[in-house]
Structure 1
Amino acid sequence: MRKIKNILVILGLLSSFVTMAADNSVINEYGKVNLAGKTYTARIISPKAVVYADENMLSPLGYIANGKAIVVGNPRRMNRDLVPTVIYGRLAFIEIKDIRYEDTADEEYNARRGAPREHNFDITIQKPEERLSENNSVFFSLHTYGAGDEVKNAFVNIQDAEVTNFSGFQFQFIHRKPQSRFFWGANFDYSGVSTADMKFNYFMFGPVFGFTPIRNPLFFIDVYGSLDLSVNTEFDIANNYENEPSGFVWGPQLNARIMFFPQAKYHVFGGVGLRKYSVSNLEVLKDLNDNEIDGIKSITSAQVFIGVGMEFR
């Protein structure tokens, strides 16, 4: 009796294995993957249909252009929104919303002509990293960071006013390849601190380079840095100077952020960082009596920020 039970268990396991294999694919005598079961002719109806290497849709292989005819299998058991296809002998997956099934006459005609069971990779698919106009995103954030002792002292000495933090906003444009952990882009940044009679602010521009050490369907962790250069710096003191002093601000900033919903079109994120800026032409300031006052030579401070992002695929 025990032997019979063991045989039944083994047969059950074999049956499960065969069912799983049939649901996935089969390997022919030449080692290539073919779709198991009935196949269908479909046509791409999206401008660019993403092709994935896995059913979790975490590893895009590239895009298939609109209007291309492809061969697909039955919807997946694990994800009913996906259908399998074959590219260069590899099993791949595409979303049902990106295709339209051809009618039965077309299927039979293609079958009589011996339509291939896999795509010509070079013709139908285009790797997303080949174009700089794709895989781009824009991030908008609000930030705040300490004004630093030199900025605080300048406000106290000239206007007897106390300030604590810079505040501002940033636009960041990023190019990130789908399967790469590296990304690059540019920052456009504004920061300022002010009182009723005095203000100090600057617009910055700089290149960005980053790395993503942690990436999963729920969130990304990005670490990145930029070299910022001021394109406009204002140091205004009301009723004090005919010609206000002008300066130049430059230096690096290093940041780490956590970005949620990385697979979606829209993201939310927050992070912390460090800014270390040098200031030129504002080292010495003068009061109303033309007395010299210690000015601003550098700004070093930790920052925090929050924001939203949007993908342009």
Structure 2
Amino acid sequence: MKIKLTLLALLYFLSSQILAAQIAIVSVPKAVIFSDQTLSTPIGYVSYGKKIKVGEVEKKDGTILPVIVAGRVAYVQIKDLALQNGPDQLGISTPKITEHDVELTFQTDQDKLSENNFFSASIGQAGAGAGWEEYSGEFGEESSTFSVISLQMEHRNPLKDTSWGFGLTYFSASADDLEAKSLAIEANLYYSLFNFRYMSISAFGGLLFSGDFQVIQGGGEQKTNGVLYGYSIGGVARILPYSKLGAFGGISLRKIKVTELEEIETPGGLEVGIDGLSGVNIFAGISYKF
């Protein structure tokens, strides 16, 4: 008899958590549903924009809410939802959670790395800073920007706030009597600030390195090679971020150090050098999911 009463009390408690329900709208591409409060066993997901009924009593230090799936209590993270204030309104349709990605439960980290990969290509203009302006001015040139072309492979999982990318960046500046160019390796780490179905906004930071920064003067009369390395911080907005084909644009601040670059002689007989390239980089491009 005591066991029956205990079971009845437990069922009443669980049902009361859900009956005191509220309406929530999924605010991320996929809100993962978990079978346990430790969030260790994902059982499915609900797509962006769907309305679902969730309990009002928060669990796990206010980070998750209960939700009924196939007659059982499951859990969803509050950060993936936009909660509607006020009681449930008559006529609001709250579809059952029937979307399941069973493979998600059994995927290994290696399996996940084979998905959500993108190839991106972008072009832009980067400020070279006062140091380059003075340097080029010694040769009678007025050059203040570099043209930038970047090709990267990116891994962007819509279920995670962080993503990363790496690839090659080519930048160059050319005038009548002075030319500079370099092919650098660059790696970026992104953090999603806003993530919607058709658009996302992320902050990012990156590192770059090149062992072949070239400065050529007089069509090859003087040529010197150096090493450059540095970092960048900025933001990027993406349109259709997880579709087969998307577009993006952004802005960043680059700080680059130049070393081992020999000085070259100006028309006036002075020997000049440069030790840094810094400025704002504005870029735009397209991405392709493969």
**Gap change, CA 1:311 and 1:189, over 3 Å in 2:** same
Structure 1 partner of 2:30: 59
Equivalent residue for 1:248, pick from 209, 214, 227: 227
Amino acid at match of 1:146: G
Structure 1 pair 190/254, CA: closer, same or farther in 2 (3 Å)?
same
Q: Which amino acid in structure 2 is aligned with residue 265 of structure 1?
A: K
Q: 2:28–2:196: 8 Å Cα contact kept in structure 1?
A: no
Tell me, in whole angstroms, the C-alpha distance in 1 between the residues paired with 2:188 and 2:221. 37
Taking the aligned partners of 1:256 and 1:124, their CA distance within structure 2 comes to 30
Q: Distance in 1 between matches of 2:201 and 2:210?
A: 28
Q: Secondary structure at the match of 2:284?
A: strand
Would the aligned equivalents of 1:187 and 1:208 in 2 still touch at CA under 8 Å?
A: no
Distance 1:266 1:124, change over 3 A: closer
Q: Which residue of 2 aligns with 1:51?
A: none
TM-score, structure 1 normalization: 0.59
Residue of structure 2 in register with 1:178 after alignment:
158
TM-score between both structures, scaled by the size of structure 2: 0.63
Give % identity. Answer: 20
1:161: which partner in 2? 141
1:156: how far off? 2.2
Change in CA separation of 1:57 and 1:272 when aligned onto 2, cut-off 3 Å: closer
Q: Is the 8 A contact 1:214 1:220 kept in 2?
A: yes
Q: Which residue of 2 aligns with 1:238?
A: 218
Q: What residue ranges of structure 2 are gaps of 5+ in the alignment?
A: 1-10, 16-24, 34-49, 52-68, 75-95
CA distance in 2, matches of 1:268, 1:203: 24
1:103-132: per-residue Cα shift (whole Å, max 9, x none)? xxxxxxxxxxxxxxxx9x5x8954485422
Q: Is the 8 A contact 1:240 1:287 kept in 2?
A: no
Rounded to whole Å, the distance in 2 between the matches of 1:128 and 1:307 is 32
Q: Is the 8 A contact 2:193 2:201 kept in 1?
A: yes
Any idea what SS the aligned residue of 1:154 has? Answer: helix
Residue 161 of structure 1: SS of its match in structure 2? coil
| Distance verdict in 2 for CA 1:58–1:288, change over 3 Å | closer
Deviation at 1:295, TM superposition (A): 1.6
Residue 281 (str. 1) matches residue 260 (str. 2): yes
Distance in structure 1 (CA, Å) of the matches to 2:98 and 2:133: 59
Note closer, same or farther for the CA distance 1:256–1:124 as it changes in structure 2 (3 Å cut).
Answer: closer
CA distance in 2, matches of 1:57, 1:148: 39
Partner of 1:297: 275
For residues 195-210 of structure 1, what are the structure 2 equivalents within 5 Å?
195-210=175-190
How far the C-alpha of 1:273 sits from its partner, in A, is 0.7
Alpha-carbon distance, 1:185 to partner: 2.2
Alignment deviations for residues 165-214 of structure 1 (CA, whole Å, 9 cap, x no partner) = 11121112211223110112213111110113321011111222110011
Number of aligned residue pairs: give it. Answer: 215
Unaligned runs of 5+ in 1: 1-27, 33-53, 63-77, 80-84, 96-118
Equivalent-residue separation in structure 1 for 2:207 and 2:167 (angstroms): 9
Distance 1:151 1:56 in 2: 46
Aligned equivalent of 2:132, options 151, 157, 172 = 151
Please identify the structure whose Cα radius of gyration is greater. 1
Retained in 2: the 8 A contact 1:128–1:134?
no
- For 2:121, which of 140, 149, 161 is the aligned residue? 140
Offset at residue 262 of structure 1 (A): 2.3
- Aligned mates of 1:170, 1:255 — CA distance in 2: 15
Task: Provide the rounded CA distance (Å) in 1 between the counterparts of 2:251 and 2:287.
Answer: 17
Question: Could you say what secondary structure the match of 2:138 adopts?
Answer: helix
- Matches of 1:302 and 1:141, distance apart in 2: 15
CA distance in 2, matches of 1:163, 1:124: 52
Measured in 2, the distance between the counterparts of 1:307 and 1:255 equals 15
In 2, Cα distance between equivalents of 1:210 and 1:202: 24
